[in-house]
Amino acid sequence: METYDVVVVGARCGGAPAARLLAEQGLRVLLLDRAARGSDKLSTLYIHQPGVAFLRAWGVLDEIRATGAPPITEVTYRVRDVVLRAPGPFVGGGNEAYAPRRADLDEVLCRAAEAAGVTVVHEASVTELLDEQGRPAGVRYRRAGRWQQARADLVVGADGLRSTVAKLVSATPYAGHPRLSCCLYGYWAGVDASFEQHQSDGLWVGVIPTSGAHLVACYFRQSEFACVRVDVEGAYDRCLRTAAPSVAERLAGAERIGRLIGMGDQQNYFRTASGPGWALVGDAGHHKDSLTARGITDAFVQADLLARAVADAGSLRPARLDAHLAAYARERDRRMMPFYRSTLAVARLDVEAERLAELRRVAGSPELCARYGAAVAGVLTPEEYRLHDAALAP
């Protein structure tokens, strides 16, 4: 049996940074992932400015730029007759967002973990937790047809929406909400577009520049999922022509790369983030509708919070570790909950008269546009944005 201080399950945008940050504290860390190295993943790709600040601080931003993902410094939001252009806020030395392909991003993060001393193993499926006096003491996993075990004082689940670790520790779900949207993603080459969002009642189109192409995402209400999945091409075309006719015109002269990919399982939940000897980061512990594209940035935040909690504990002895893991869970909820609620409001895809009037007023003020961009990026909480906006109201 191999012995480590920490086993992290899931080697993508939550697990790889968490593993690296823990290894930099001098801990022996094993990072496992069920997928093959370099595999892709369905994702909005977008990393908000606070997430990019982490990449800059972790010393990997130049590698992200080298993937070919262009810097994104402004978002254009169109709804009916309103056109709002919001600049990206400056965070940690820059105002760029990026949307690298997930295979590229996850590989950069895994290499950084390895450089910090993490042992990274792909195509390894965790099936059980080892138990020692009623708390996790490592994992049992299968790789290349062989069963292996790794002992550890801390097990971190970063294994996504259908987290095995969350199931094995019986992490309690709470603050759940019914699914609100479903979506279709397509990649297009030869598109003349920056970062754009277009909305009409019940529909939303996002255009995101990435490496060598644009991701064009069409969102529908969850109630339409059965119809969308029956006629994927027709639904995608209808959404573009209704919500974003200017995008539809530009795509007529572009080339789609590959097939359309759909997602109907847009779950909204929190799960208990920690317990005796275990913690969850990223989608394993919290997931919300992808329409606001907060998943990657939130995973970075949680990885950083967890690493700080372990550092503050100063020891992996149960009494100290568990108390600081509980503090991590509380801080995660404090940080994530406001954006969870605002995402639920946006993902209903309603164009209400009051909301339209607000956007029209914001579009007419450079100061309010800048604050709107800061709120979208997560620099301002929705409450901070609303309080300032109310103060400027006539």
SS (HEC) of 177-214: ECCCEEEEEEEEECCCCCEEEEEECCEEEEEEEECCEE
In the prediction, which pLDDT does 355 show? 87
Is the pLDDT at 392 greater than 90? The verdict is no
What mean pLDDT is predicted for residues 119-123? 98
- Model confidence pLDDT, tens digit, residues 159-213: 999 999 999 999 999 999 999 999 999 999 999 999 999 999 999 999 999 999 9
**What structural domains does the chain harbor?**
2-45+101-176+267-347 (3.50.50.60), 181-263 (3.30.9.100)
Is the pLDDT at 393 greater than 70? The verdict is no
For helices 102-115 and 15-23, give the axis angle rounded to 10 degrees: 10
**What is the percentage of the chain residues whose pLDDT exceeds 90?**
93
Is the pLDDT at 390 greater than 50? The verdict is no
For residue 104 the two structure tokens come to: 């590229």
Is the pLDDT at 382 greater than 90? The verdict is no
How far is Cα 392 from Cα 371, in angstroms, rounded to an integer? 12
pTM greater than 0.85 (yes/no): yes
What mean pLDDT is predicted for residues 319-335? 97
- Model confidence pLDDT, tens digit, residues 5-47: 999 999 999 999 999 999 999 999 999 999 999 999 999 999 9
How far is Cα 279 from Cα 285, in angstroms, rounded to an integer? 8
What mean pLDDT is predicted for residues 64-76? 97
- Model confidence pLDDT, tens digit, residues 221-250: 999 999 999 999 999 999 999 999 999 999
How far is Cα 210 from Cα 189, in angstroms, rounded to an integer? 10
